């Protein structure tokens, strides 16, 4: 599969770029330490800024890999780093995922988009804008045939973001937090065929 890595993207209101160790303070303050933001995510809120620093240092070593996609979401108007968005191979973490997509070719993995933003930026369309940019980048710069997204059932607002970016509901599933806690989820699918129709929302 052809990959393109994490390149800088620009939308009307946002820059999407690599997350850097020097972003740690804004990441910790704007979203990573907030239990309201992480409530439906796989990971727990960071206990201190040093945890954020360590995570960003680890991510920095992965950016040279062409199949690594992890962006900071930066608001142009304020310069604030207020969230992150990634595209990752879910099949590597859970081989059982393959059975949930029987009509899709999983040869190159199951590539899933995931995102989170600080609550100060909620309800302004930023998550949709960032997800659309990542989706466009994926289909224009890789030869992947499809992309997935999922959200906790208790967080339907995230599902509306996915639908606005062109994804269609596919199935219910049980996902797990990193500590093993099960979470009821709804999974969505966007195929290259649908993307190429250019009539997405």
3 domain residue, yes or no:
no
Give me the residue label for tokens 């994926």.
138
134 domain residue, yes or no:
yes
d(CA 109, CA 94): 11
Domain, as residue range, for 164: 9-196
What is this structure's pTM?
Answer: 0.94
2 domain residue, yes or no:
no
Q: Residue 51, Cβ neighbours under 10 Å: how many?
A: 16
pLDDT of residue 199: 63
182 domain residue, yes or no:
yes
Q: Which CATH number does the domain housing residue 46 bear?
A: 3.40.630.30
156 domain residue, yes or no:
yes
pLDDT of residue 200: 61
pLDDT of residue 41: 81
4 domain residue, yes or no:
no
From first to last of the 201 residues of the chain, give the pLDDT tens digit: 999 999 999 999 999 999 999 999 999 999 999 999 888 887 789 999 999 999 999 999 999 999 999 999 999 999 999 999 999 999 987 888 899 999 999 999 999 999 999 999 999 999 999 999 999 999 999 999 999 999 999 999 999 999 999 999 999 998 877 787 888 999 999 999 999 986 665
User: Nearest to residue 195, comparing CAs of 156, 151, 144, 127?
Assistant: 144
Provide the H-helix boundaries in 45-168.
49-60, 90-93, 126-141, 156-164
Give me the residue label for tokens 């937090």.
177
Give Cβ neighbours of residue 127 (< 8 Å, ≥ 6 apart): 83, 115, 117, 158, 161
Q: How many domains does the chain have?
A: 1
201 domain residue, yes or no:
no
pLDDT of residue 201: 58
d(CA 70, CA 183): 23
- Residue 119 tokens read as 């609550």
186 domain residue, yes or no:
yes
């Amino acid at each position: 599969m052809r990959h393109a890595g994490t390149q800088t993207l620009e939308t009307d209101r946002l820059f999407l770029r690599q997350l850097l160790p020097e972003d740690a303070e804004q990441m910790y303050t704007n979203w990573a330490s907030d239990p309201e933001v992480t409530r439906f995510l796989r990971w727990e809120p960071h206990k201190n800024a040093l945890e954020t620093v360590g995570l960003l240092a680890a991510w920095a070593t992965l950016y040279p890999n062409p199949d690594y996609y992890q962006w900071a979401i930066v608001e142009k108007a304020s310069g604030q780093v207020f969230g992150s968005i990634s595209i990752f191979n879910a099949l590597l973490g859970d081989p059982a995922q393959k059975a949930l997509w029987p009509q899709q070719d999983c040869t190159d993995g199951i590539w899933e988009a995931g995102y989170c933003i600080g609550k100060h930026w909620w309800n302004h369309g930023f998550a949709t804008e960032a997800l659309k940019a990542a989706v466009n980048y994926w289909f224009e710069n890789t030869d992947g045939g499809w992309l997935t997204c999922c959200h906790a059932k208790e967080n339907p607002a995230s599902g509306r973001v996915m639908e606005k970016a062109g994804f269609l509901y596919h199935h219910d599933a049980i996902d797990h937090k990193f500590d093993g806690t099960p979470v009821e989820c709804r999974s969505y699918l966007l195929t290259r065929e649908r993307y190429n129709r250019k009539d997405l929302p």
